[in-house]
Amino acid sequence: MGRIRLAVVLVISFLAVPFAAETQQIAKVYRVGYLGNLNPTESTSSVDGFRQGLRGLGWVEGQNVSIEYRWADGDLDRLPALASDLVKHPPDVIVVSGLLAVRAAQRATRTIPIVSAIMGDPVAAGVAASLARPGGNVTGLAQQWDDLATKQLQILRETVPRIVRVAILHDVRVPNPGIRESTEGATRALGLQRRVFEVRDEPDLQSAFRSAKAEHANAMYVMPSPIFNLHRARLAELAVTYGLPGIYEAKLYVEAGGLMSYGPSFPELYRRSASYVDRILKGAKPGELPIEQPTKFEFVINLKTAKALGLTIPPSVLARADQVIE
């Protein structure tokens, strides 16, 4: 009887080992930290894009991945503290957007991989050695702002041929001087006069528009900024009030009442960032994953806003739009 009992125990133990290993493998849930510049409401489309990207690659929240969110609510000074809080319970990878968030996350950790859905020139900013081989713990997607700014201003001038002087809104908290230099270079290349208005918070917006109108600006160019994104409806309202047509970086601005936008799709960028998270969770090193540049851009026009501004959009411009909001 003793031998029989021993044999039964051995058989059960033999069968239990692979079952336990399989159960342990299934139970593995990877943690993703998500550091947001704004808030859940203002970031719905981006978060949805990221989740869709993960699901398409087999990552399902609550099953094999969990996402820990931290939101700055538009107060970018909070990013370092929020990044440090994420790192206290180390995620397997951190997802961010913009160089300010990249730097906050990188100050909090030099070992946890950081994926940025969009950022300015990471090489010039010193967060990556090169686009092809970033080194360190940062990778993701980056935008060449000089090319984008030139294209945006070309579209704006084609839409409003009378433009001579452009007012440029610049968020001084955006830590990438290359964006401002690229925008100013684009206006020079197109023979446009310019005046840069530095903005620190929402109350500065109205004074910037008022001053721009007093200085006979014909149009407003809004440089990329999380804060401008947060206050995009206010920007659209002021543009109509002061009669200053403008072009913006993303469709969200046009949906909020802005005249036009030309740039990469934010939800698409976040979907693509999910592929970086996928590769990192499967063992890839962020420093060896090339930083990509957006290849798909969308051009959106709001005809209701054009009418409010007293503009007739040329047929040649309308024909190129990916979407027209009426």
- Tell me if 5 is assigned to some domain: no
Share of the chain above pLDDT 90, in %: 74
Question: Where does 61-218 have alpha helices with state H?
Answer: 79-88, 99-108, 145-159, 177-189, 203-214
pLDDT higher than threshold 80 for residue 6: no
Least confident of 102-111, 170-179, 207-216, 313-322: 170-179
pLDDT at 8: 47
pLDDT of residue 16: 52
Cα 106 versus chain centre, distance: 17
What is the residue-averaged pLDDT of the chain?
90
* Across 33-48, average pLDDT: 94
Whether residue 121 is found in the same domain as residue 189:
no
**What does the alpha-carbon distance between residue 30 and residue 57 come to, in Å, rounded to a whole number?**
14
* pTM of the full structure: 0.86
Q: What is the pLDDT of residue 300?
A: 98
pLDDT higher at 139 or 147: 139
| Confidence tier at 87 by pLDDT (50, 70, 90) | very high
Share of residues in the chain with pLDDT > 70 (%): 90
- What local confidence, expressed as pLDDT, does residue 175 receive? 61
Residue 299 pLDDT exceeds 80: yes
Identify the pLDDT of residue 24: 46
In this structure, the answer to whether residues 181 and 321 fall within a common structural domain is: yes
Residues 204 and 308 in one domain: yes
- Both 85 and 160 in one domain: the answer is no
pLDDT band at 55 (very low <50, low <70, confident <90, very high): very high
Per-residue pLDDT reduced to its tens digit, 206-221: 999 999 999 999 999 9
Distance CA 84, CA 80 (A): 6
Residue 302's pLDDT band (boundaries 50, 70, 90)?
Answer: very high
Instruction: Please enumerate in sequence order all residues whose Cβ is within 8 A of that of 123, keeping only pairs 6 or more positions apart, or say none.
Output: 129, 130, 131
- Is the pLDDT assigned to residue 20 strictly greater than 80? no
Same domain, 250 and 164: yes
Domain for residue 14, yes or no? no
Considering the domain architecture, whether residues 139 and 201 belong to the same structural domain is answered as no
226-271 pLDDT tens trace:
889 999 999 999 999 999 999 999 999 999 999 999 999 999 999 9
- Is 260 found in the same domain as 277? no
**Count of structural domains within the chain:** 2
**Same-domain check for residues 41 and 96:** yes
Residue 242 in any domain: the answer is: yes
Residue 251 lies in a domain: yes
Mean pLDDT of 293-314: 95
Same domain for 123 and 173, yes or no, is: no
The domain that holds 260 is classified in CATH as: 3.40.50.2300
Burial of 85: CB neighbours in 10 Å, binned 0-12, 13-18, 19+: middle
**Is residue 178 located within the same domain as residue 311?**
yes
pLDDT tens figures, 155-211: 999 999 999 999 999 988 876 667 778 788 888 888 999 999 999 888 899 999 999
Same domain, 156 and 100: no
Q: What residues make up the domain containing 200?
A: 145-264+297-325
